[in-house]
A and B are shown apart, each in its own frame.
Chain A
């Protein structure tokens, strides 16, 4: 079960922010964070936990819309092995 993100990865206290890449999926961001563009304009968020696009093909970037499943996006949850064998 080593690939299953467990409860340890959740924010422990107020103010803690965690970013979790999910296997073959987006980055989930939890905690007390602000999402803004490079001009500093804050993006209004509809929910406490958000998913940021990791495959680059979402139609609602920077958020995820599930498109990674259509394009066969694959990525581990943990770091990519580097340097590659």
Chain B
């Protein structure tokens, strides 16, 4: 398998234009501070989310034509910080603060938070009514995260004390295929994409992901790159695992209903069984364990869980609203509409 390398997508506005132009130059040439950022609706903002995604992507992957030293160039970090502040404030407005009683048992609080998931019934819709085109769009959206599944949460490893660290590694070892690259979840997802006739290459569909899809990945990358958000990063993982096994069973059923075989459904079927294990470890041993050792980050654990559910809800509503209007949920349709 080739090394990760993405192409710079077309810019979507002044922020991404300025950033991409800067990245084509040398890291010693300073990137100017961004102009006035419109912070009206950063979660759906195409330009802001794409710029932030690419600024973060330098930590995950090569970008063709971009000097790798940009990763730690102070002017880029400062540019990125301006975008992050805008996004972080918008998320904080969406997330209800943790209550004192919740902090007494973070595991139990997480159970209640995910039981009150604010998202639309997307997986149920896909299982019973979703069309082939909608399923393909869903997979293309998800590829923004699934092709790097587990990677942002690995940034928590060096920051945790032994108890929660062992719990995180127990989950991550399984995510990364238990020692077999063939069983790595990101590899399974690429195989699902290929078996649906999609391109499973990392970053292939970046120019089609709308702002809200990029925002879902930027959320966890932001938690991962800032040690101060280790609580939120752990809470994000816990809520992700706790809202996975049942929806993934439905997505697997959706593919079967649409006539696809085991090669396509394996990723989803695997997650039914895997995440039924992971969710307990993540909620109680990892999140509960972290809160026991570092009570001062307990509230941020719940913040990360609620932030995930809020952003996923925005994303799910975007898909269902687009489809209801008879439009593609991507920035451009996968299959050109026949004349």
Contacts and interface: CB of A to CB of B under 8 A. Distances in A.
Given A3-B108, A4-B288, A7-B162, A47 B276 contact: no
Contacts of A70: 246
A6 B105 contact: no
Interface string A8-44: 0010000000000011111010000000000000000
A46 B277 CA distance: 12
Given A7-B167, A47-B274, A69-B242, 7 more contacts: A3-B105, A3-B108, A7-B163, A47-B273, A50-B277, A64-B277, A66-B276
Contacts of B107: 3-4, 23
Nearest to A8: B163
Nearest to B165: A7
A85 interface: no
A4 B301 CA distance: 15
Contacts of B183: 46
Given A7-B162, A23-B107, A66 B272 contact: yes
Contacts, number: 100
Interface of B: 104-108, 111, 114-115, 162-163, 166-167, 170, 173-174, 178, 183, 242, 244-246, 249, 270, 272-277, 279-281, 284-285, 288-289, 291-292
B280 A51 contact: yes
Nearest to B166: A7
A25 B280 contact: yes
| Max chain A Cβ within 10 angstroms of own Cβ: one of B106, B246, B277, B291 | B277
B292 A1 contact: yes
Contact of A48 (B105, B115, B173): B173
B278 to A, nearest CB: 9
A63 B280 contact: no
B276 A51 contact: yes
A69 B106 CA distance: 17
A46 B177 CA distance: 9
Nearest to A22: B280
A8 to B, nearest CB: 9
A31 to B, nearest CB: 12
Given A66-B276, A69-B246, A46 B270 contact: yes
Contacts of A49: 170, 174, 277, 281
Contacts of A23: 107-108, 111, 284
A65 B291 contact: no
A23 B115 CA distance: 15
